[in-house]
A and B are shown apart, each in its own frame.
Chain A
């Protein structure tokens, strides 16, 4: 299947500093991809390059079809009503599905005559996402869509995005620095750290391919490749790739998404990247 988004050798520089370098990745169509990494990792830069808001110094990024982008600050005009925001969106977009927007807002119980300034944080996020979806994108790019939302609003926003993915062929790329928000919703993972790509792949496959090993420090874990290790006293806990070691002193279990991400972020020199040619859905 054709990837929804593909970056090849992407490098972005602000003045003399590289904020993104040597970034090659691909997101298959129909996926919900999580873009995670610490602040300053290059997440927003990668998104801006993907939606064409900035020109890379090196390499390229290609999107199949139409792309819609919701920036982190969810830009809406405070003095507008929701209906006026929709009218604005219609004028700004060549593709526009008014019925999609109206149905979605009705389903969310957001009245069209309400002023943007009177909406809650969750409702603003929903209106911003609705405006993006009304342009019928093939790829929806969301920069920190859950930032500053309470848990209930986070759940509601994710619910409505998941329903869109279930309803039609839509690929989503969303960034967050809270991994637990993404555990149930995303099926593709991209980890950026210090401007470099560390992880890119299917989440189930990544979790199946890694183990958390705990055991006495100093015992070799044959047949595995250590991603990162942390020691407490004589015990060591490691995130590794490969099959469980036969030595019975090791206890092995499958990592959670957060453990996997943290394991990589803790050791920036580790990486698990696909052979780009072999990426498919």
Chain B
């Protein structure tokens, strides 16, 4: 089961935050095919948001083929998001942690790290296109 939380100051619309959190859980393997998403009532009872917002997020996930609504039963995960397996995930995370320690030792602060990571990421994306 996934528990949603909201960043009310983020400027990202609430329904998108819900969509992103489900996708993130699918990537991390905390949500797997067959798992049930909380009902709209359960979500609004914990977050105090409009139920239509939850339904909109679930419709979007359904449109992307990630979940399916089963009438009278609820919304279930149809498929995970193809990506690194959990084992690879752990290995990559270790590598990244080592890189962060190294960068810290070299005197980079949090913001430098983020900037550097964002630049490398966007360069990689450009190369991927080219």
Q: Which residues of A contact B (CB under 8 A)?
A: 30, 32, 155-156, 158-160, 162-163, 165-167, 183-187
Q: With both chains docked as a complex, state the minimum distance between the C-beta of B2 and any C-beta of chain A, in angstroms.
A: 17
Given contacts A158-B48, A184-B50, 18 further A-B contacts (CB under 8 A): A32-B50, A156-B48, A159-B44, A159-B46, A162-B44, A162-B51, A163-B44, A163-B45, A165-B50, A166-B45, A166-B54, A167-B41, A184-B6, A184-B14, A184-B53, A185-B48, A186-B50, A187-B50
- Minimum CB distance partner of A168 in chain B: B41
Chain B residues 1-15 with CB under 8 Å of chain A are 6, 8, 14
Q: Which of chain A's residues have a CB closer than 8 A to the CB of B66?
A: none
Decide: A165 and B51 in contact? CB cutoff 8 A.
Answer: yes
Decide: B14 and A162 in contact? CB cutoff 8 A.
Answer: no
Task: Supply 15 A–B pairs (Cβ within 8 Å), ascending by A.
Answer: A158-B48, A159-B46, A159-B47, A162-B44, A162-B45, A165-B44, A165-B50, A165-B51, A166-B45, A166-B54, A184-B6, A184-B48, A184-B53, A185-B48, A185-B50
Decide: A159 and B50 in contact? CB cutoff 8 A.
Answer: no
**How many residues of B sit at the interface, in one of the four size bands?**
10 to 19
Q: Which of chain B's residues have a CB closer than 8 A to the CB of A32?
A: 50
Q: Which of chain B's residues have a CB closer than 8 A to the CB of A184?
A: 6, 8, 14, 47-50, 53
Q: With both chains docked as a complex, state the minimum distance between the C-beta of B48 and any C-beta of chain A, in angstroms.
A: 4
A184-B8, A184-B14 given; A159·B41 CB < 8 A: no
Decide: B49 and A185 in contact? CB cutoff 8 A.
Answer: yes
Decide: A166 and B40 in contact? CB cutoff 8 A.
Answer: yes
Complex-state Cα separation, A183 to B14, whole angstroms: 10
Chief secondary structure at chain B's binding surface: helix
Q: Which of chain A's residues have a CB closer than 8 A to the CB of B41?
A: 163, 166-167
Complex-state Cα separation, A162 to B53, whole angstroms: 11
Complex-state Cα separation, A167 to B41, whole angstroms: 6
Q: Which of chain A's residues have a CB closer than 8 A to the CB of B40?
A: 166
- Minimum CB distance partner of B44 in chain A: A162
Q: Which of chain B's residues have a CB closer than 8 A to the CB of A160?
A: 45
Q: Which of chain B's residues have a CB closer than 8 A to the CB of A162?
A: 44-45, 48-51
- Minimum CB distance partner of B40 in chain A: A166
Q: With both chains docked as a complex, state the minimum distance between the C-beta of A174 and any C-beta of chain B, in angstroms.
A: 12
Q: Which of chain A's residues have a CB closer than 8 A to the CB of B30?
A: none
Complex-state Cα separation, A186 to B48, whole angstroms: 10
Q: Which of chain A's residues have a CB closer than 8 A to the CB of B46?
A: 159
